[in-house]
Amino acid sequence: MKINWFKYAAPLNFYSLAGKVIPFFWVAAIALTAFGLYWGFFKTPDSLENGMKEYYRIIFVHLGSVWMAMWLYIMMVFWALVGLVFNTKLSYMMASATSITGALLTVVALATGAIWGKTSWGTWWDWDPKLTTFLILLFIYIGYIALQSAIDDTRRSDKASAVLALVGLALVPVIYSAVNCPDPTQCSSLHQESSMKNIEPNIMRGIIFTTLGFWMYSFAAILMRVRNIILQRERNTTWVSKLKEVN
């Protein structure tokens, strides 16, 4: 049976669909994250060959949050761009909902990075290129959220914040290149070069499952937020009024 996916661009239809799939994303998020953390804490080596001891286990939370913070920013820009091009209300709502989860995971990435830095480098913070660019990413997330709240007209705030998100997109490849720099003399970084090669299989398994758990969490949280945004922005419509009467 052919499904007309375009009908879910309407807030009413998407609200209903999101409500049905959210529980599945929550179950997947809890199961995958729990398995990933269990495997990372109990099935991986007690130390690494380069001298890192037990504290390296924070990597199972840190890497997942770093990857998801950058991926969610790209998704936020995607939805904002779709809104600008096609002038679709739901796209702007998705971008707005994504910004909150992205900012939260950026905070988690910075916090876990600070803990890692204190144990491995002896300092909570250093103006390392990746730390600095990631802090800027958090500021852009906050700027997007603040701009949405500062303008009462939702159409104007959506377009203005979408432009800000597009400008900030250039920061994502900068964050990546801050670690994966071909010439260390040009961009000194405390972070080692990011590479998935030669990682101990049990460590890789823990990282993958934890990251997948964060991914499922992101879907669940964003869909819950977008449902709230839909109710707020469509509060004067007939279907929302009927929904309030039922509840």
How do residues 33-59 score in pLDDT, each as one tens digit?
A: 999 999 988 887 776 655 555 667 888
* pLDDT at residue 222 is higher than 80: yes
Structural domain contains residue 155: yes
Q: Which domain holds residue 203?
A: 35-43+51-246
Structural domain contains residue 169: yes
Structural domain contains residue 136: yes
C-beta of residue 126 within 8 angstroms of C-beta of residue 117: yes
Contacts of 200 (CB under 8 A, 6+ apart): 44, 45, 48
**What is the gyration radius of the CA atoms in the chain, in angstroms?**
20
Structural domain contains residue 148: yes
Q: Indicate if the alpha-carbon torsion angle 35, 180, 136, 82 is positive or negative.
A: negative
Domain count within the chain: 1
Structural domain contains residue 221: yes
Q: What is the pLDDT of residue 94?
A: 96
Q: What is the pLDDT of residue 19?
A: 93
Structural domain contains residue 1: no
- Condensed to tens digits (0 to 9), the pLDDT of residues 64-73 reads 999 999 999 9
More reliable by pLDDT, 164 or 127: 164
* pLDDT at residue 18 is higher than 80: yes
Question: In angstroms, rounded to a whole number, what is the distance separating the alpha carbons of residues 212 and 32?
Answer: 6
Structural domain contains residue 123: yes
Structural domain contains residue 13: no
Predicted model pTM: 0.88
